[in-house]
Chain A
Amino acid sequence: MNNYLKLEFRKNHMGMLLFLTAAFLGLNLMWLMISLQNPNESQLHWGWMMMLAQMPIIGAVLSPTFMAVIASRIADVEHKGSTFKLLYTLQSRTSLYHAKLLLGMIFAAGISIGQALVLIAVGNIVHFEGSAPVEKITLYYIMSFGVTFASYLLQLDLSLRFRNQMAPLAIGILGSFCGLFVMYLYQFRILQHIVLWTNYVTLSASVMSSYDPETRIVQYEWCPVNWYGIAAVGVWTIMLYLWGRRMAERREV
């Protein structure tokens, strides 16, 4: 597997993928900095919790499309060169799928670690009250990694399935939007878990607990670990893996 993974690194122009990842993290940083241009006392007081409530929304907006872009690039290299026929005579079908999956997993992990570091950096630049809640941040980004990886899996499966990359990319963009839409349907908790992309928010570490429209003061509270959300992401991941593996095994070339 190690060799196959190395081959994937060589096949995909890593410079472009790394540039995209850096740009993605830069966007996260910029978004947070814009939202905290002139922080008031309340924002500084609730800073860490506010960030942990905001980051899932940023994740839900940006990550699915970004993972769709990464997955499309990793899968499209085979479509462009019509290399499936050749590769399947040199390596097992599942090993090719697993190598692409591993490569995406590395990117998903890199993004999650990068986002956590961006959050801590912003908190220290803006001087939020208190020290960074490292435990909460770590826990959230482990769960966020799960959602990002599951959305990568979905996009990889679709990108390998369709030669026309418009379909998976459009699904990625629409998925982001669906995630946002369902996020507002508070009364349908089950639906929020079923829609993969909304789980960035359902697994959030903190949430707004009250808002006073007159004084515009917002308060936050920590959320307990959402086991239903974790289970939903787990089920999604297993199903998508099995589907992708089955497609790879039965692919006609």
Chain B
Amino acid sequence: MLKRTIYAETKKLTGNPVWIPFLILPLLSTLIGTLNFTNNLGLLSNTWENLWTQNTLFLSYFFFPALVATCCAFLWRMEFFEHNMNLFLTVPVRRSSLILGKYMIAVCVTILSVLWTLLLYLLSGWIIGIPQGLPKQMPEWILCGILGSVTICSVQLFLSLLIQSFAVPIGIALAGGVLGIGFLSKGLANFWPYALFAYGLRANNPDMKFEFLPFLASNLIFTVLFLLLTVRRLKKR
């Protein structure tokens, strides 16, 4: 059943350029980061770690949560229009499958975006000619970043269903990302879902102390909690 709901969601998105901002934003982020990196080579050492920080800092704090929010809001918006919700709720499919269908689409888009960010990072490092080999921790940054992004998807999917406004959840995501800086600086990133993406990517400091298990637990708890809340909310409609 889940396969079919995912198929239905992809059908709904046919012709909608949801992917364009996810393509452009990491590109801009890489351009800014690389430019800043090359301009400050006197202050920064010429390493992959420093390039990673420059490429992902702005993206992970401010723009990525808002962009994920745009995608999730768009997934719900189609249902809020023209009585589509009536149809959506009367299909003979479990509510949880309906939610998971949307969730999987959001997750796929964000994962592709993170991988695209990685590809651009490798390309930019190769172009400016960083001498050392690639950092060994890089797969871990990506995996943790993906985990963090998946958590934001679940939060935003819930908020977009709850608030039923396209714009407001995006504003909340922007605010959440900025608040995340505070949680990160206090070492409380595991307690704030919007901080998990930047924390997982190690955007602020690739050599920071990082404990995987609490991070994984936090992601799991937030993801499951918000997905359950979304299903519950949909059941109550």
A residues whose Cβ falls under 8 Å from a Cβ of B: 16, 20, 23-24, 27, 30-31, 34, 61-62, 65-66, 68-70, 72-73, 76, 80, 164-167, 169-170, 173-174, 176-178, 180-181, 184-185, 213
Listed from nearest, the 9 A-B pairs whose CB atoms lie closest are: A72-B167, A170-B21, A69-B171, A69-B167, A165-B166, A166-B74, A181-B32, A73-B167, A177-B28
Asked whether B114 is an interface residue with its Cβ less than 8 Å from the other chain, the reply is: no
CA distance A118 to B10 in the complex (A): 45
Asked whether B143 is an interface residue with its Cβ less than 8 Å from the other chain, the reply is: no
- B66 proximity list for chain A (CB < 8 A): 65, 173
Write the nearest CB–CB distance from B17 to chain A, whole angstroms.
8
Question: A-facing mask of B151-175, CB < 8 A → 1, else 0?
Answer: 0000000000000011110110011
- A170 proximity list for chain B (CB < 8 A): 20-21, 67, 70
- A30 proximity list for chain B (CB < 8 A): 178-179, 182
Question: A-facing mask of B53-72, CB < 8 A → 1, else 0?
Answer: 00000100011001100110
Asked whether B25 is an interface residue with its Cβ less than 8 Å from the other chain, the reply is: yes
Beyond A176-B63, A185-B35, 4 additional contacts (C-beta under 8 Å) are A30-B178, A165-B166, A165-B167, A177-B25
- B71 proximity list for chain A (CB < 8 A): 166
Asked whether B223 is an interface residue with its Cβ less than 8 Å from the other chain, the reply is: no
User: Could you tell me if A213 and B31 are in contact, using CB atoms closer than 8 angstroms?
Assistant: no
Q: A23-B175, A66-B174 are in contact. Are A169 and B63 (CB under 8 A)?
A: no
Residue from B16, B63, B166 in contact with A72 in the complex, judged by beta carbons closer than 8 Å: B166
CA distance A181 to B58 in the complex (A): 10
Residue from A16, A70, A167, A177 in contact with B32 in the complex, judged by beta carbons closer than 8 Å: A177
Q: A174-B28, A177-B28, A177-B63 are in contact. Are A73 and B58 (CB under 8 A)?
A: no
Question: A-facing mask of B15-40, CB < 8 A → 1, else 0?
Answer: 01110110011001101100110010
CA distance A68 to B74 in the complex (A): 15
- A24 proximity list for chain B (CB < 8 A): 171, 175
CA distance A30 to B186 in the complex (A): 13
Complex: chain B residue closest to A71, CB-CB: B167
- B18 proximity list for chain A (CB < 8 A): 166
Question: A-facing mask of B79-104, CB < 8 A → 1, else 0?
Answer: 01100000000000000000000000
| 10 sampled A-B residue pairs with Cβ under 8 A | A30-B178, A62-B178, A66-B171, A68-B167, A69-B170, A76-B166, A76-B167, A164-B77, A166-B166, A177-B28
User: Could you tell me if B36 and A184 are in contact, using CB atoms closer than 8 angstroms?
Assistant: yes
User: Could you tell me if B179 and A165 are in contact, using CB atoms closer than 8 angstroms?
Assistant: no
User: Could you tell me if B168 and A73 are in contact, using CB atoms closer than 8 angstroms?
Assistant: yes
- A164 proximity list for chain B (CB < 8 A): 16, 74, 77
Write the nearest CB–CB distance from B184 to chain A, whole angstroms.
10
User: Could you tell me if B168 and A80 are in contact, using CB atoms closer than 8 angstroms?
Assistant: no
Q: A166-B70, A184-B32, A184-B35 are in contact. Are A76 and B174 (CB under 8 A)?
A: no
CA distance A105 to B63 in the complex (A): 25
Q: A173-B25, A213-B43 are in contact. Are A62 and B70 (CB under 8 A)?
A: no
Residue from B20, B166, B185 in contact with A169 in the complex, judged by beta carbons closer than 8 Å: B166
Q: A30-B179, A165-B166 are in contact. Are A173 and B70 (CB under 8 A)?
A: yes
Complex: chain A residue closest to B67, CB-CB: A173
Write the nearest CB–CB distance from B195 to chain A, whole angstroms.
13
CA distance A65 to B174 in the complex (A): 8
Asked whether B146 is an interface residue with its Cβ less than 8 Å from the other chain, the reply is: no
Write the nearest CB–CB distance from B122 to chain A, whole angstroms.
20
Q: A69-B171, A170-B21 are in contact. Are A27 and B70 (CB under 8 A)?
A: no
